[in-house]
Amino acid sequence: MMSDRWKAALWAGVASAVLAPSADAGVFVNAASTYLATVGSVTSGQTVTLSVIGQSDIYTPYSTLMTPTGTPAYSVAGTPAQAWGASGSPTVPGTSVYGAAGPYANMGALVGTYMATPLVQSDYFLIGNGGSFTPTETGTLYALVNDSYFGDNCGGFFVTFGALTAGPQQNFVCASSPLSPAPGYTAPTPIATLLGGHQYEITASGYEIIGSNMIGSPAGIAPLVNGFNTGALLLSLLPNPSTPDIFTVGANGTVRFTAPADATLFAWVNAATYSGNMGGFVTQVAEFSDVPEPMSISLLLTGLGMVWLGRGKANGKSTRSD
């Protein structure tokens, strides 16, 4: 059995590599980290735009997914999300415990500061869903997921300068969440919005700890749980799917498919239990409609071959070598 100390050491060792998104994805603000993430430089009085995507996972004692404003990302009767109320809360429900930003932001929200070492709660302000704002100071903008204890968190937010443009949709799927009080019930994480008839490529990468096993592939490992590998990243176009509605990524963490209709793509980690898990997978969903299908490539090559033969004949040259 892997001790908590070893789990923490292993996760600390891979966190920077696992959670770092691609260069164009902005900065990942890890909900499990007490360290401020450096978003970038800002100038007082000069309006900037921030784009924020993702979800933070706060333990309550069951996992609850939060949007960047600290409101529950889902609402299902009987789940821990309802303990926070529809608009979230700056304190742990039933207590007077505030997060790092105190009353200035909900628990699980994305907050910012201009100080490398904030001294008081008022040094923080709500970034939330981002958008345009005018910095009040010149220097570095830092970000943090607002909480009072970070050791049992997961997920986080991708933050980048500028407005969101068409391109890959990125998110983080936690191995520890979400779990409701009803054993075995999972509420999948929405990771992308799909358009019917469009073709998509899903890629996933990262590490997770399921029980005593460290898993570095979103394809998961044996033994099977609910008909799928332990730790496998499961995908569906339905929020509460049955087995026929579920599909997985390959061993390389990639799968391609065509969306049958406009839909939301959901993802979750397959496990028999979630309470002791750590880590998860960064997901990216991108359209690949511009990539030729194998048949199209074959026809293209055939066409090029015919052109080449035609040119050879036009020049009075033989294409035979015998």
Query: 3-state secondary structure string, 96-133?
Result: CCECCCHHHCCCCCEEEECCCCCCCHHHCEECCCEEEE
In angstroms, rounded to a whole number, what is the distance separating the alpha carbons of residues 34 and 265? 30
Do both 155 and 172 map to the same domain?
no
- Looking at 135, 165, 195, the residue that finishes a domain is 165
Asked, for residue 56, whether it belongs to a domain, the answer is yes
pLDDT-derived band at 143, boundaries 50, 70, 90: very high
> Which of 8-17, 45-54, 266-275 has the largest mean confidence?
45-54
Asked, for residue 318, whether it belongs to a domain, the answer is no
- Looking at 132, 147, 165, the residue that finishes a domain is 165
- Domains held by the chain: number: 2
For position 265, what pLDDT does the model report? 92
Question: Smallest Cα–Cα separation from 135: which of 39, 47, 40?
Answer: 47
What are the C-alpha distances in Å from 165 to residues 160, 162, 321? 11, 9, 52
Do both 128 and 69 map to the same domain?
yes
Per the model's pLDDT, the better-predicted residue between 319 and 44 turns out to be: 44
In angstroms, rounded to a whole number, what is the distance separating the alpha carbons of residues 188 and 73? 11
Do both 159 and 113 map to the same domain?
yes
In angstroms, rounded to a whole number, what is the distance separating the alpha carbons of residues 90 and 93? 9
For the chain, give the mean pLDDT: 78
Asked, for residue 302, whether it belongs to a domain, the answer is no
47: domain range?
1-165
Do both 256 and 195 map to the same domain?
yes
Do both 245 and 132 map to the same domain?
no
Do both 257 and 137 map to the same domain?
no
Mean pLDDT of the 296-321 span:
38
Mean pLDDT of the 77-104 span:
84
First-to-last CA distance in the chain?
A: 69
Asked, for residue 45, whether it belongs to a domain, the answer is yes
> Which of 99-113, 177-191, 257-271 has the largest mean confidence?
99-113
Where is average pLDDT lowest: 105-119, 172-186, 193-207, 249-263? 172-186
pLDDT higher than threshold 60 for residue 8: no
Q: Which residues face 284 on adjacent strands?
A: 170, 203
For position 32, what pLDDT does the model report? 87
Q: What is the CATH number of the domain that holds 30?
A: 2.60.120.430
Mean pLDDT of the 207-211 span:
87
pLDDT higher than threshold 80 for residue 250: yes
AA letter at 201: E
Do both 271 and 138 map to the same domain?
no
Do both 207 and 102 map to the same domain?
no
CB-based burial label for 215 (10 Å; 0-12, 13-18, 19+)? buried
For position 181, what pLDDT does the model report? 41
Do both 34 and 85 map to the same domain?
yes
Do both 234 and 265 map to the same domain?
yes
Do both 104 and 187 map to the same domain?
no
Where is average pLDDT lowest: 16-25, 116-125, 212-221, 267-276? 16-25
pLDDT-derived band at 54, boundaries 50, 70, 90: confident
- Looking at 165, 199, 232, the residue that finishes a domain is 165
Query: Computed from CA positions of residues 246, 250, 253, 256, in that sequence, does the dihedral angle turn out positive or negative?
Result: negative
pLDDT-derived band at 276, boundaries 50, 70, 90: confident
Do both 129 and 235 map to the same domain?
no
Asked, for residue 311, whether it belongs to a domain, the answer is no
Rounded to 5 degrees, what are φ and ψ at 297?
Answer: -65, -40
Say what percent of the chain tops pLDDT 70. 73
For position 311, what pLDDT does the model report? 37
